[in-house]
Amino acid sequence: MPNRLSGSFPVSLHFATVQIAAGAAFAVLAVAFAAVFVLVALKSRADIPYEQVQTVGYWLRKRWLAVLTVVIVCGVGMSLFDLPYSGGAATGMTVVKVTGGQFFWSLVPDRVTAGTRVRFDVTSVDVNHGFGIYDPRGRFIGSVQAMPGYHNKLDLTLDDAGRYVIRCMEFCGLDHASMESFFTVTPR
């Protein structure tokens, strides 16, 4: 099976992306948790009365619960103001009809001008596909599912001129990895 993938792909870190910020936050948390587990393991050989451990442990647990609750409430609360779901009419938008099929993408039109607000109207003619879009620098900027019988609408403002790569983000069969297309954003 020849490799038909031809789009450029990130081999260097793009610190500006949300993913990298989330990845960095995750790495910090993972190292912190690992450090706690190492500390507990080192302390495991000590002989401390359990009543003493419970006194401090339960005091600390209440704070741990409070911190986690605050982080979750704030994090999830703020995320609800940044949902990717489109709403309302496509007034002022360029509607791009996207159709996925084994193993192709059809985008009509397949080019817009930079800064255009685009509504991708995504569906499929056969199985579930995932419409994943990568900007000209190879950054994954979002995805939406292409489902037969349904139209998922994704609104994006494409500011960077260049060639955007479309990849399938839902396993769809034999040539899933080769299901690639392009979308062009021309300079203003």
Partner 1 sequence: MAAVDAAVLHARAVGSVPVPRAAERRVGVLFVATGIAVFAVMGLFGLVMRLTQATVLHVSPAWFYRLMTVHGAGMLTGALLAMMGALWFVLRETVPLHLRRALACYVFILVGAVCVIVSVLVGGFAAGWTFLTPLPFHPAGQWSTWATAVFLAGLLLVGVGFFVFCADVLASTTTTYGGLARTLGIPYLRGRDDSPPPPQAIAAAVVSIDGLLASAVGATIILALLGRTYDTGVKLDPLWAKNLTYFFGHETANLIMYLAAGVVYVLVPRYAGRPWKTTKPVVAAWLATLVLLVSAYSHHLYMDFVQPQWAEIVSTISSSLATLPVAVVTIYTGTMLVWGSRYRWTLASTFLYLGFAGWAIGGTGAVLDSVIPLNFRFHNTDWVVAHFHTYLLLTVIFWAFAFLAHVLEREAGRTAPHAATAAAAGAMVLGGYGLTGTWFVAGALGIPRRYAVQPPGTTGYSLAGSIFAMIFALGFLVLLVQFVSLARSAFGEARYVTVPLKDSWTGGRYLARRRRESEAEAPLPRLEGPYRLPLASPAQLAAALAATVVSLAAFFPQVVDASETSTRYTHLDNAGIFFFGAVLGLLLGSLPAVSRGLGDHSSLGLAAVVAAPPLMMLTMVPSIYAHFEPHPAVYAYYLAHNALLGLLTGLGATRLGLVTGRIAIVLSIGMALMFAGTAGG
Per DSSP, the three-state class of 92 is coil
Query: 115: helix, coil or strand?
Result: coil
* Residue of the chain from 169, 181, 183, 185 that contacts partner 1 (CB under 8 A): 169
Residues within window 96-135 making contact with partner 1, judged by CB under 8 A? 102-103, 126-128, 130, 132, 134
Number of residues near partner 1 (by CB under 8 A): 90
Number of other CB atoms surrounding residue 30 within 10 Å: 10
- Confirm or reject binding of residue 59 to partner 1 (CB under 8 A): no
Q: Which is nearer to partner 1, 144 or 185 (CB)?
A: 144
Interface region with partner 1, contact rule CB under 8 A, candidates 37-45, 88-96, 109-117: 37-45
Q: Which stretch binds partner 1 (CB under 8 A): 73-81, 89-97, 109-117?
A: 73-81
Strand 140-146: give its sheet, edge to edge: 111-113, 180-186, 162-168, 129-134, 140-146
Please, are residues 172 and 129 in contact by the beta-carbon 8 Å criterion? yes
- 23 DSSP 8-state letter: H
Q: Shortest Cβ distance from residue 88 to partner 1 (Å)?
A: 13
